[in-house]
Structure 1
Amino acid sequence: MKEPLQENTLLYYMQWYIDSKKDLICHSTYKRYKVFFRLMERFEGFICQSVHIEDMDSDFIRDFMIFGKQEEYSENTIYRTIHFIKTILNFVERKGIRTCVRELELRREKQKKEVVTLTEKEIIKIQKTNVPEELQAAKDWLLISCYTGQRFSDFIRFSTQQIHIIEGKTCLSFAQQKTKKEIFLPLHPKVLHIIKRNKNRFPKIMDIQHYNRSIKEIAKLAHLNESLKSRKRIGYRSREVQTEKWEALSSHIGRRSFATNFYGKIPTPLLMEATGHSTEQMFLRYINPVNKDRILSLSNYFDTIDEGRTVFQ
């Protein structure tokens, strides 16, 4: 049996906070909080002592960052954990206990983040790729995700019972699992075609592990072999590795691809209505800044303008 946590320690209040929020947050958020908790347990093992609330100052932040870098945690994990710790200290202050939370100011340099997406051409390539019967459902879900922009936890629960017809347009009504937002989404013709081909049903449901394995196999069959850098989780850590594109696919690829491929073609507020993002800043995190189709389109405009000048000179 595990020993009870010592009072007035950071872990004690972290556990208290997590327990108080358990019924108010979604499961993925709860899991993320537990990751922060376990990371702090490992930090205490690293320094061979418990961290008390009165010890929480700028020196603690420095030591924690040294620990994170030595243990090769990603910078994102380190900063997100510190941000959560500040949340805990604010929670402690509301209990009437004074902390040094206002001293824990951090300046983080903007990091260049690789956002892996599927281009429209790659999506069409996947659509045209013949796959074994056991991969067909995953292929259909991948295409559905690329044309609806939803998280796995939402699109995998799509049902024809959620379909409504509005002035001849087929729409889907559902509440997002993570945000609880009510979404009313007009369905893309490609999604309607998949439903029709599946005898007016959505594909069969699968778990996320099965889905992630399957879409990698599908992308490999489609020869998405472009070399790129992506983050890969190795144990508790996430590291940047050079890999082929098919290996970098995961359940979020469709949501990111939807945001990237339709950005600039459809008004951003309408796209945000579809994805459920509250702010444009959050939405833009999903956009791949290196969109080859937009770059080529801009280049074609340059060529056309330059040709026009040559004619009139």
Structure 2
Amino acid sequence: MTFQFFLSKNSGLQKNIHLKITDNQKNKIYNFRTDLCISEENWDKEKQRPINIYLKKYKILNAKLDRIKKKVTRYIDHQEADHKKVLRREISCKIKKICNGMKEPLQENTLLYYMQWYIDSKKDLICHSTYKRYKVFFRLLERFEGFLCKSVYIEDMDSDFIRDFMIFGKQEEYSENTIYRTIHFIKTILNFVERKGIRTCVRELELRREKQKKEVITLTEKEIIKIQKTDVPEELQAAKDWLLISCYTGQRFSDFIRFSTQQIHIIEGKTCLSFAQQKTKKEIFLPLHPKVLHIIERNKNCFPKIMDIQHYNRSIKEIAKLAHLNESLKSRKRIGYRSREVQTEKWEALSSHIGRRSFATNFYGKIPTPLLMEATGHSTEQMFLRYINPVNKDRILSLSNYFDTIDEGRTAFQY
């Protein structure tokens, strides 16, 4: 059975979406006019859906198209299984209900049903960013069901499911990271289902992933000093201060932007900051670097003014550009609706996480790793090491200097 959505040929700006269903086995064709409308310039004729499925109104429209495919397929399959006639009027009625926004509860024993159950059970135990990420996985699986034209049931999940999902992910041009993170979340859901006493194929789902060479972009100590010495307009000064603070505290934007002098404590003459990380709720007691203390003092014993993350990200790019951080490198950049790897200048690649990664990289090997993990709040060394830039020029030059020193010593001894 195949579904084909297409636009009406009327002359209006908004055109109705029509549906053609072809049942090759029964040699039957059904045609329907839906109440859904879209302009021709916003319609992807090849993919038979809105061009931008991430714009809110088109996201809703695309979800309705997916629900129509699943609902109609389920109805036809049930009728044929019971040896009953497929009624065009019944299909039309179901399409009309979906177009009018009527949503049915999720079917029991489907993957989406258990995903929603799991997410609801965790909602009060996880941070908002994790909850949002789970909902992204959920909506991705909704689109996958639209791709399959059917609901995915727990008992039907096997290695073919993984294969089909990866085909779907590649066709939609999702990053490999997004595809694998979603699959790992699905395995989490299957383990959750097993704890409810329901048998699944979770142990049969083999995932072999090639190790990816991930570009970790950081600021070297020399680049941080260069930024520190760069004069910036007054409107960029707060962002410059926050960027330097992040490089010397190793915290996420959601944490450092809320720093307050009320969190400061003096322990045996050492100035420390006490706070709970927003993402992990972990209590952190952080000694403040002299550079951070200098910034606080220069701001009349206060932290810089608070700003939103969009303003901060735009500002630190401008600051890095003024500091002439023009090194050419590869980074991921959003092009259209997808993130792609492109060649760019370093200042363009800066974002709010640059300070956290730079802190981990610049102090790694100079300060014991357990102490650094105390500062960043990482629970495992494996997670902490993901922040380390393996190509650290300072460490490479230090190693080279050792080689030169040793070689000079041997040469002098020979003579």
TM-score by length of 1: 0.97
Q: Shift of the alpha carbon at 1:98?
A: 1.5
After superposition, what is the alpha-carbon deviation per residue over 1:213-258, rounded to whole angstroms, capped at 9, x for unaligned? 1111111111111111111234553221111111111111000000
Following the alignment from structure 1 to structure 2, what is the Cα–Cα distance between the partners of residues 39 and 235? Answer: 18
Following the alignment from structure 1 to structure 2, what is the Cα–Cα distance between the partners of residues 224 and 35? Answer: 34
After superposition, what is the alpha-carbon deviation per residue over 1:181-205, rounded to whole angstroms, capped at 9, x for unaligned? 1111110010000000000000111
Following the alignment from structure 2 to structure 1, what is the Cα–Cα distance between the partners of residues 183 and 375? Answer: 32
After TM superposition, the structure 1 stretch with the greater mean CA deviation from structure 2, 44-53 or 143-152, is 44-53
**Equivalence map 1:1-313=2 (5 Å):** 1-234=102-335, 236-313=337-414
After superposition, what is the alpha-carbon deviation per residue over 1:61-102, rounded to whole angstroms, capped at 9, x for unaligned? 011111111211111111110000011111112222221111
* Partner SS, residue 238 of structure 1: strand
After superposition, what is the alpha-carbon deviation per residue over 1:82-140, rounded to whole angstroms, capped at 9, x for unaligned? 00001111111222222111111212121111000000011011111111111111110
Following the alignment from structure 2 to structure 1, what is the Cα–Cα distance between the partners of residues 380 and 191? Answer: 25
Q: Pick the structure with greater CA Rg.
A: 2
After superposition, what is the alpha-carbon deviation per residue over 1:140-166, rounded to whole angstroms, capped at 9, x for unaligned? 000000000011111111100010111
Residues 11/233 of structure 1: CA separation in 2 closer, same or farther (3 Å cut)? farther
Following the alignment from structure 1 to structure 2, what is the Cα–Cα distance between the partners of residues 236 and 51? Answer: 26
After TM superposition, the structure 1 stretch with the greater mean CA deviation from structure 2, 98-107 or 290-299, is 98-107
* Partner SS, residue 247 of structure 1: helix
* Partner SS, residue 164 of structure 2: helix
Following the alignment from structure 1 to structure 2, what is the Cα–Cα distance between the partners of residues 6 and 222? Answer: 57
* Partner SS, residue 93 of structure 1: helix
Following the alignment from structure 1 to structure 2, what is the Cα–Cα distance between the partners of residues 285 and 133? Answer: 35
Residues 234/10 of structure 1: CA separation in 2 closer, same or farther (3 Å cut)? farther
Following the alignment from structure 1 to structure 2, what is the Cα–Cα distance between the partners of residues 186 and 99? Answer: 49
Following the alignment from structure 2 to structure 1, what is the Cα–Cα distance between the partners of residues 282 and 398? Answer: 35
Following the alignment from structure 2 to structure 1, what is the Cα–Cα distance between the partners of residues 248 and 262? Answer: 19
* Partner SS, residue 372 of structure 2: helix
After TM superposition, the structure 1 stretch with the greater mean CA deviation from structure 2, 204-213 or 23-32, is 204-213
Number of residue pairs the alignment of both structures matches = 313
Following the alignment from structure 1 to structure 2, what is the Cα–Cα distance between the partners of residues 208 and 74? Answer: 24
* Structure 1 unaligned spans of 5+: none
Following the alignment from structure 2 to structure 1, what is the Cα–Cα distance between the partners of residues 117 and 157? Answer: 17
Q: Shift of the alpha carbon at 1:7?
A: 2.0
After TM superposition, the structure 1 stretch with the greater mean CA deviation from structure 2, 96-105 or 244-253, is 96-105
Q: Shift of the alpha carbon at 1:3?
A: 3.1
After TM superposition, the structure 1 stretch with the greater mean CA deviation from structure 2, 205-214 or 116-125, is 205-214
TM-score by length of 2: 0.74
**TM-align CA RMSD:** 1.1
Q: Shift of the alpha carbon at 1:49?
A: 1.6
* Partner SS, residue 184 of structure 1: strand
Following the alignment from structure 2 to structure 1, what is the Cα–Cα distance between the partners of residues 285 and 402? Answer: 36
Higher strand share: 2
Q: Shift of the alpha carbon at 1:31?
A: 0.7
Following the alignment from structure 2 to structure 1, what is the Cα–Cα distance between the partners of residues 132 and 149? Answer: 25
Following the alignment from structure 1 to structure 2, what is the Cα–Cα distance between the partners of residues 153 and 14? Answer: 27
* Partner SS, residue 284 of structure 2: strand
Following the alignment from structure 2 to structure 1, what is the Cα–Cα distance between the partners of residues 219 and 157? Answer: 44
Identity %: 97
After TM superposition, the structure 1 stretch with the greater mean CA deviation from structure 2, 249-258 or 212-221, is 212-221
Following the alignment from structure 2 to structure 1, what is the Cα–Cα distance between the partners of residues 322 and 104? Answer: 51
* Partner SS, residue 266 of structure 2: strand
After superposition, what is the alpha-carbon deviation per residue over 1:236-281, rounded to whole angstroms, capped at 9, x for unaligned? 5322111111111111100000000001111111111111111111
Following the alignment from structure 2 to structure 1, what is the Cα–Cα distance between the partners of residues 343 and 180? Answer: 24
* Partner SS, residue 238 of structure 2: helix
Following the alignment from structure 2 to structure 1, what is the Cα–Cα distance between the partners of residues 158 and 359? Answer: 43
